[in-house]
Amino acid sequence: MSTWSLSELLAGLHEEIERQLETVRRTLAHPGTKGDASEEVWLELLSTYLPKRYQATKAHVVDSEGVFSQQIDVVVHDRQYSPFVFDYKGQKIIPAESVYAIFEAKQTINANLVTYAQEKIASVRALHRTSLRIPHAGGEYPAKIPGHILSGILTFDSDWSPALGEPLQKALAAGSARQQIDLGCVAAHGTFFRQNDGSYAITERGKPATAFLLELIARLQSLATVPMIDVRAYASWLV
């Protein structure tokens, strides 16, 4: 009679993600096709395993002042309280208020990718986010102050040797507060998570994809719920 093993289940999840990313790198020659396929691996992981209150998609983010972010490979956004999403010919546009986390997904991490990701992250965090008072049976709760938008990098491999050494930490430490990277996964090598003191906890090997997924869920839990969006602020663009 077979028995269940939680350790084997969690290990198997990582191994499946690593295998898919390795297959993409080995078999697809065109850089654009390879990039799209890598993004799909991560999007499928998050869409399958994140709680249903969240949705993961590739998108631009827009605010009520009409400012758009750069295109983001993976946007984790609210699907319970902010159903305000534009979808035209496969191009998705998500209101800034509904965003919980953003990720850049590529085959390999290096200094150029970190800088590129930081610029894209800043383009989202710079957006204006509305927040309305929340009605309830006994009155109203105060408007929630929009919280921190999580950010990160997702790759299969690293151009550095060692893969998660000092050059990575130096690249992550660069940039402004708005460009801050919170967590990342290099599936073939390990994970990095930003701590409260601003340093990064780096774990080599292990089961990186699974470790990243569980850490992301824990951090999403700490963010609670996104602010109540002022839909009328967007409606003002109809005039």
Catalytic residues: 73, 104, 106
Q: Are the C-beta atoms of 138 and 123 separated by less than 8 Å?
A: no
In the 8-state DSSP scheme, what is residue 68? B
Which residue is listed with tokens 């390990």? 190
Both tokens assigned to 221: 């839990």
Q: 90's torsion region: left (phi>0), alpha (psi -120 to 50) or beta?
A: left
Instruction: Using DSSP bridges, classify how beta strands 150-155 and 99-105 pair: parallel, antiparallel or unpaired.
Output: parallel
In the 8-state DSSP scheme, what is residue 177? G
Give kind and range of the element (H or E) at residue 192.
strand 190-194
Closest C-alpha to 108, from 19, 187, 41: 187
Q: Per DSSP, what are the bridge partners of residue 72? A: 59
Phi, psi of 100 (to 5 degrees): -100, -40
